[in-house]
Chains A and B, each alone.
Chain A
Amino acid sequence: MTLDTTEILDQICGLMAPFNKKGVSISADTTFASDLELDSLSVMDMLAAIEDHFDVTVPLNILPDLETVGQVSEAIKRILDEEN
């Protein structure tokens, strides 16, 4: 399965729905802390859903570098490329 960055971003935006309690429109620039008002535990729960969807391991170690939806999709792209 080779996905390009846009496809990954689209799928991640879909996975964000249960965590988008404020109903903001989600793009690559959407931030978890300010725009979505997610606390650290919710961000980790969201990552778990993303891990399962793409069937990859997303280490918690990279969490400090993930502030936006776009950064998460770039990280997933990188992890998928490494595995293939």
Chain B
Amino acid sequence: MTHDLFDKFDNILAEYKKLAESGELNPFTVSMDAVISPTEAIINGKKTILAGTNNYMGMTYNQECIKAAEEALNSFGTGTTGSRVLNGTYYGHKKLEETLKDFYDAKHAIVFSTGYQANLGVISTVAGPKDYVVIDADSHASIYDGCAMGNATVVRFAHNNPEDLEKRLARIRRKDPDAGILVVIEGVYSMLGDQAPIKELATAAKKHDAFVLVDEAHSIGVFGKTGRGVAQEQNVEHLVDFTVGTFSKSVGTVGGYCVSNHPKFETLRLVCRPYVFTASLPPSVVASATKALELIKDSNLRVKLLENSMRLNKGLANAGFNMGTTGESPIAAIIIDDKQTAIAYWQNMMKEGVYVNLAVPPATPNGLNLMRCSLSAAHSFEQIDYMLEKFIAVGNKLNVLG
């Protein structure tokens, strides 16, 4: 008998059904009926504080960004209907790439249609059949998928562990002294907000003549003197060969990018399939991204953002929660022992008017069940105190707090 193509998902479907039957609110089917501001929306008819949307700078409603987007929409239309290499490169795409080069003080910048595609494209293309990609164990799905799409040999090292990386690179070099090697790390890991020790990791990479790619998706705008990310914060930008990032978090829209000083970097426009074979970003999106990057460079919103995060993290820690985060990034996450309680916790927070992220394995490291918040510079202290009050109320109700 032939197989139904969907039989392989039966276990996942059964898990999902359990979740859907556990209450009227399902984290996979949340939809925002209306959005009021970067920090508030109407969900299921209820005014809800958004505490898990990665909108770190609150840029989605910045008036200058909206104005730039409107002007581009009126001048250039709703979409490009084409790939960057055919009819999909407009004035705005080139200006955005110039703005990125200026933002990073880099020689080259390429804009992709999403951050996911930036990782997918760069990793799968620069590392070929005779090369190696060496990735952190806790890498985002887009990094794993970039590896799966390419033809390089893929090796994984223990999360944020320079000695483990060094050991694995030495093994590769022992067998393959001349191979090209790309080491991939993230500036900030999104689930627990921990930073990579870029200096130590990149130094291990350079010792074995490997290239270094840093994904600053969750750190652009948030860290560094001019918001370039963790490499700038740690003063190690000279050790980084490729910086990848996204416009979908601090920049407040959608899109991805890679910047580099490699003299042959622009070749990617000819050979990188996720760049070539997809439609380019709409003009309004590139216009708001360009404006947001200009604003982020000189912004002091970083200070407000980290103050907000520290306030929630400290409040949760003082209340006695088992913390996954420290407050040194925009992420606040509490650890819940079991998945069923985590689901109930999420549902109760929604009923109290606070949207947070339910994060469970395998999206989380070390099998953790998390209630994850991403703070915004646009949150007021009143909103943060409200989140905290509701976290404590639900924690007491579900006996998560001792």
Residues of the A chain whose Cβ atoms lie less than 8 Å from the Cβ of B153: 57, 59, 61
Is there a chain A Cβ closer than 8 Å to B156's Cβ? yes
| Chain A residue with the shortest CB-CB distance to B361 | A39
Of A40, A48, A57, which is within 8 A of B362 by CB? Answer: A40
B154 touches A60 (CB 8 A): yes
Residues of the B chain whose Cβ atoms lie less than 8 Å from the Cβ of A61: 153-154
Is there a chain B Cβ closer than 8 Å to A55's Cβ? yes
A41 touches B361 (CB 8 A): yes
A57 touches B156 (CB 8 A): no
Is there a chain B Cβ closer than 8 Å to A17's Cβ? no
Which B120-176 residues sit within 8 Å CB-CB of chain A?
A: 137, 147, 153-156, 158, 167-168, 171-172, 175
Chain A: minimal CB distance from B137 (Å): 7
Of B147, B158, B175, which is within 8 A of A57 by CB? Answer: B175
Given A40-B362, A41-B362, A83-B175, answer yes or no on A60-B155 (Cβ-Cβ < 8 Å): yes
Given A39-B361, A41-B362, answer yes or no on A60-B156 (Cβ-Cβ < 8 Å): yes
| Chain B residue with the shortest CB-CB distance to A44 | B156
CB-CB contacts of A44-75 with B at 8 A, as 1s and 0s?
A: 11001001100111011100000000000000
Interface majority SS on B: helix, strand, loop or mixed? mixed
User: Within the assembled complex, what's the spacing in Å between the Cα atoms of A74 and B158?
Assistant: 24
Of B154, B158, B361, which is within 8 A of A48 by CB? Answer: B158
Residues of the B chain whose Cβ atoms lie less than 8 Å from the Cβ of A44: 137, 156
User: Within the assembled complex, what's the spacing in Å between the Cα atoms of A39 and B364?
Assistant: 12
A57 touches B168 (CB 8 A): yes
A60 touches B172 (CB 8 A): no
| Chain A residue with the shortest CB-CB distance to B153 | A59
CB-CB contacts of A10-46 with B at 8 A, as 1s and 0s?
A: 0000000000000000000000000000011100110
Of A41, A48, A51, most buried by chain B (CB within 10 Å of CB) is: A41
Chain B: minimal CB distance from A67 (Å): 14
Chain A: minimal CB distance from B327 (Å): 26
User: Within the assembled complex, what's the spacing in Å between the Cα atoms of A83 and B153?
Assistant: 16
User: Within the assembled complex, what's the spacing in Å between the Cα atoms of A60 and B147?
Assistant: 9
Chain B: minimal CB distance from A52 (Å): 8
| Chain A residue with the shortest CB-CB distance to B364 | A41
22 CB-based A-B contacts, threshold 8 Å: A39-B361, A39-B362, A41-B137, A44-B137, A44-B156, A45-B137, A48-B156, A48-B158, A51-B171, A52-B167, A55-B171, A57-B153, A57-B155, A57-B168, A57-B172, A57-B175, A59-B154, A59-B155, A60-B147, A60-B155, A61-B153, A83-B175
The interface of chain B, by Cβ under 8 A from chain A, is 137, 147, 153-156, 158, 167-168, 171-172, 175, 361-362
